[in-house]
A and B are shown apart, each in its own frame.
Chain A
Amino acid sequence: MVDIKRVTKRYGSKAVVSDVTVQIEKGKITSFIGPNGAGKSTLLSMISRLIIKDEGEILIEGNDIAKGKGRELAKKISILKQSNNISLRLTVRELVSFGRFPYSQGKLTKEDWKHVDEAIEYMGLEDIQHQYLDQLSGGQRQRAHIAMVIAQDTDYILLDEPLNNLDMKHSVQIMKILRRLADELGKTIIIVIHDINFASVYSDYIVALKDGRVVREGTTNEIINREVLKEIYDMDIAIQNFQNCRFCFYFH
């Protein structure tokens, strides 16, 4: 469980995230939604210690992340940011093998390579595992990065807009994989996501942020309804049920 207690982050005098308290359940997919500038990515970065928080506490299974050792934390929690401009000339397999760094410190054992192979297979990258990252399409590269996170084998996986720049097919593919990671391997997944329909169809729990504060949180069914969405987005959004899923129509 991730326990976020009264966390605040300020840039200058402007609070980007203010006094946020949320609990994130284990083994579920939790989505952070909200308008631009709501503080979703900042909150995600603070959970993964990429950004240092100004106030408050973040506990992962009872342990304060500010006090934990970097290497041990890297075996518990992993993050994938939205922009991954790697200037190195790496093959997919080499990138994925970096996921084992917290365990092997660069000297990979047989056990580590087994994890690398499994991660590559899980993401269906066997055919392109020896290609260089700069030769791949955006979707393939995103999958390679997710494979690295899978090889890292952490209980908690944080993804910042994993569907950014992906077409429909690849978006669905990635969300299905995240669902499998949660259902089959019991991973706890936290994503920042803009497409509200993907959030509705694939997540268990939704946290809605606005102006740095949590405005609503609850199960998907509690959040995806007309009144709540109006409060979050200031838009009147019609909701339709289709094949047991709720869809939002916000196009006009």
Chain B
Amino acid sequence: MNYKSKTLLLAGISVALILLFLFFDIRGNVEYILTRRSIKIAAIVLTGASIAFSTVVFQTITQNRILTPSILGLDSLYMLINTFIIFVFGSITLTTMDRNIQFIMIVGIMVLFSGVLYKILFKREDQNIYLLLLVGIVLGTFFGSFTSFMEVLIDPNEFQTVQDKMFASFNNINTDVLLLATILIILVSLYFMRFLKYLDVLALGRDNAINLGVDYDKVVKSLLVVVAILISISTALVGPITFLGLLVANLSYEFLKTYKHTYLILGAIFISIIALVGGQFIVEKVFTFSTTLSVIINFVGGLYFIYLLLKENKSW
């Protein structure tokens, strides 16, 4: 089986799982249930696709298969913003705030943060991308510590709300926010399309890419902006879930065994839809909401990583 038919197979499984999720055990008010489930599915597809897509792009730029965009510190920033609001204004403010405004504010702060970070670090023309990662780690850790500091001080009841935000959840998606996120993601994807052809070449490394006529600095900068926007949107929508990206990107490389990024990205997107829809199905039907999707994803993902390490596969 070649990578094209494998991608088709993944697409088929995704569609099958989505249909199963939509129509499984459908009783009572069909219209209401279908609407509820479609919103969930839409959110899952949207976030799954953004995370998968941005992780593959990020790993190609950094030429590293174990990095995720979370190294840019965006997840920690998300937690910091939420904790800060609760710390200063109380959890009531956060829960009663207009969802649209909250979403736009959080996405805005995250994108602004990335913008400032890039601006400062890419001031010099021949800047090294690893400096960006290093600064990202340092800031991420700083945000994390600051968040813990505030968490220790707040009321235990308030902390419950903070804890809620720590795990990605598809159970309370607001339709308006979802629509807004969809439009934003489509716009960003359209902007990205012109850079798609460069990804295969970027994977050969900076020197080869420049040799083959790619305007490396400009392309990498634009791609990093795309990654930051997508991660911000999906995190603001459901919560921190970037570990999923690491998992699905690597599964896609292992399964498709090609270097063509069009297929690697599609593969990662389908795998992430399969993992999320399948995981959500298990959470709802098997565990009856006694656990969250993040826990399952992190558990399975962790196991897979241990397996990858033990296998000592050198051919990656």
Contacts and interface: CB of A to CB of B under 8 A. Distances in A.
B205 A85 contact: yes
Interface of A: 48-52, 70-75, 78-81, 84-90, 94, 98-99, 101-102, 105-107, 134, 152
Given A51-B126, A52-B125, A87-B63, A70 B201 contact: no
A74 B205 CA distance: 16
B119 interface: no
Interface of B: 63, 65, 125-126, 197, 200-201, 203-208, 210-215, 257-259, 315-316
A153 to B, nearest CB: 12
B197 A106 contact: yes
Given A89-B315, A105-B197, A74 B126 contact: no
A107 to B, nearest CB: 8
Interface class of chain B by DSSP: loop
Given A86-B204, A105-B197, A106-B197, A98 B315 contact: no
A89 B259 contact: yes
Contacts of A88: 203-204, 259
Contacts of A84: 205, 208
18 contacts: A49-B210, A51-B126, A70-B214, A73-B213, A74-B211, A79-B211, A81-B207, A84-B208, A86-B204, A88-B204, A98-B204, A101-B214, A102-B213, A106-B200, A106-B201, A134-B315, A152-B211, A152-B212
Contacts of B214: 70, 101
Closest 9 CB pairs between A and B?
Answer: A74-B213, A71-B213, A102-B213, A106-B197, A101-B212, A88-B259, A70-B213, A70-B215, A81-B207
A131 to B, nearest CB: 13
Contacts of A102: 212-213
B198 to A, nearest CB: 8
Contacts of B205: 84-86
Given A70-B214, A90-B259, A102-B213, 14 more contacts: A50-B210, A70-B213, A79-B207, A79-B211, A80-B211, A84-B208, A86-B208, A87-B316, A89-B315, A99-B212, A101-B201, A101-B212, A102-B212, A105-B197
B203 A87 contact: yes
A98 B201 contact: yes
A47 B203 CA distance: 23
Contacts of B211: 48, 50, 74, 78-80, 152
Nearest to B203: A88
B123 to A, nearest CB: 14
B156 to A, nearest CB: 48
Contact of B126 (A52, A80, A107, A152): A52
Contacts of A107: 197
B53 to A, nearest CB: 18
Contacts of B200: 98, 106
A73 B215 CA distance: 11
A74 B209 CA distance: 10
A89 B212 contact: no
A81 B197 CA distance: 23
A71 B211 CA distance: 9
Contacts of A50: 206-207, 210-211
Contacts of B212: 74, 98-99, 101-102, 152
A90 B316 CA distance: 11
